[in-house]
Amino acid sequence: MIRRPPRSTLFPSTTLFRSIRADGEVRWLEAELPEIDILKNDGRPLTIVGTVKDITERKKVERELHETQHTAEEIFRTLPGLFYVIEKDTGAFIYRNNNFYQITGYSDDEVDRMSALDFFEPGPDREKTVRKIQEVFEQSEAS
């Protein structure tokens, strides 16, 4: 007896794998098996509907992007002086270079709980800094 599974047992499944072509070239493939169409009495699939697509170029671009990001992180981490990136709304530090601790004296754990504005005493300098930060986020530059 052949039966169709209840809708709740149909589930999408995506698998990535490498395949070797006859000429020895390695290709990345993505197999999607979105639906088990019909089951046998013992619960094994009789038919499976799915697709396989070649994603070699996508994997190449992902690898190149990862390498570029790694290079940029190395450059930022080793810049002289302070270099940091802050979150727009809270001023929390998203990224900071290796010199941050040596220059500020604060540990990573302490800085993780701080805002960029915590480094400025209340007063005109801090207010000016707040305005300049807002300008950068609104206009992509400060005057």
pLDDT digits (tens, 9 = 90+) for 36-54: 656 666 767 667 678 899 9
For the chain, which ranges sit under pLDDT 50? Answer: 1-2, 7-10
Stated as kind and residue range, the H or E segment containing 75 is helix 56-78
Report pTM: 0.55
Phi, psi of 27 (to 5 degrees): -120, 145
What pLDDT score does 142 carry? 65
Residue 63 identity (one-letter amino acid) = R
> In whole angstroms, what is the distance from residue 133 CA to residue 42 CA?
66
